[in-house]
Amino acid sequence: MNTTTADHDMEGRSALSKLWSNREARSVILQILTMAALIGFFAFILTNAVANLAAVGKTFSYDFLSTPASYDINQSLIDYTSRDTHFRAGVVGLLNTLLVAICGIILATVLGFILGVLRLSPNFLLNRISYCFIEFTRNVPVLLHILLIHGILVHSLPHPRVASTDYNIADLFFLSNRGVFAPKPIMEPLFWATIIAFVVGIAFTVWFRRYAKGVQDATGKIYPVFWISAAAIIAFPALVYIVTGAPINWDVPEFQRFNFKGGMVLLPEFMALWLALSLYTAAFIGEIVRAGIMSVSHGQWEAAGALGIKRGRILNLVIIPQALRVIIPPLTSQYLNLTKNSSLAIAIGYMDVVATIGGISLMQTGKEMETMILVIAIYLVISLMISAFMNWYNKRIKLVER
């Protein structure tokens, strides 16, 4: 019996030894052990936190999300009142965060590419101006940019009473220290036809660009892609809009006593945050674009120039497509930084997700852990979505090697 048991033990050790010696099996085992350790660690942290909360008379729950928020929000993309729940207040804050992040990414990308190209311009004045702007902007903390631009907007723009007469465009757009007031569109039911036409135009443009490229590669024939795309995206929806009887009305802002009523408004807080984040991030993107362009061999410029192509077209058709493989990875990091830097909005009173759920809701309910977990999870999901999209785009445009 003892001999048989010893033989089984030896066989078991031998099997484990062989399993551990296998590289793939060892990798799987280590991953399982690592995940088990991480799950155990977070379970311990969570259990300990719940026990500590119970010791001071608190419970871990998200029941507060269904209770009235009882505070106002200065900017809301959806209907909101102080009688709405903390959950809806959090949704309003999330939409405000997404609004400033998306607008900031678009503006920062455009300005960044312009600055990157100007940094390599043979024009000495443009080159030096862009260089000074980039160096100044990059070396000043972004919070100071936000406070500076907000202070300029609030203190240099006129009072609404003055703006109603002196700072307006055709009595439709008004520029004041309480924001930029503009007519608000009120869509009628038939306006959906225009929206559908616009979507169809975009879909047609995507298909036609691929079709035109295929025809050009096969036969050399070049279609006027830009003009046909412009007709599909702009002219076609405009025609549908006219045919359906212009189904949209405008709510024009009017000055009443102390401020404008009606229309829509871009608050100084939003404009300050948007401009500051965009300018700050554009300075970094400019250097990324400059490095990407310089990574392309100078022989590409010479070869394209020998064919008689103008410098602007060379940059657009030859250099930038090759430079994107260098530009995209660090560009992703700048998009993530801009999104996370938007949490500084609370410094000037812009009601984003940090100011709503992570600020006022936290103080009113005393749910520190629950609200912070929500805020962290929101930023994590947004960052992962940006990373996933940029990684997909990076794989799509990368050079195919033989």
Strands (E), 239-375: 248-251, 254-256, 259-261, 264-266
Q: What is the widest separation between alpha-carbon atoms in the chain? A: 105
Rounded to an integer, the average pLDDT of 240-256 is: 85
Share above pLDDT 70 across residues of the chain, in percent, rounded to a whole number: 94
Rounded to an integer, the average pLDDT of 50-70 is: 83
Q: What is the pLDDT of residues 102-121, one digit of tens each?
A: 999 999 999 999 999 899 88
Rounded to an integer, the average pLDDT of 95-101 is: 94
Cβ–Cβ contacts within 10 Å for residue 232, how many?
21
Rounded to an integer, the average pLDDT of 390-400 is: 81
pLDDT score for 400 = 57
User: 187 pLDDT exceeds 90?
Assistant: no
pLDDT score for 48 = 85
pLDDT score for 2 = 54
Token match 């862009």: residue? 130
- Provide the token pair at 71: 């505070």
Q: What is the bridge-based pairing of β-strands 264-266 and 179-182?
A: antiparallel
Question: Which residue pairs, CB below 8 angstroms and at least 24 apart, start in 377-382?
Answer: 378/94, 378/97, 378/353, 379/339, 379/340, 379/343, 382/97, 382/98, 382/101, 382/339
Domains of the chain: residue spans and CATH: 86-142+271-397 (1.10.3720.10)
User: 151 pLDDT exceeds 80?
Assistant: yes
Rounded to an integer, the average pLDDT of 74-79 is: 85
| Higher-confidence position of 104 and 312 | 104
- Provide the token pair at 272: 């300050």
pTM: 0.81
CA distance 84 to 79: 9
Token match 């609370």: residue? 346
pLDDT score for 11 = 58
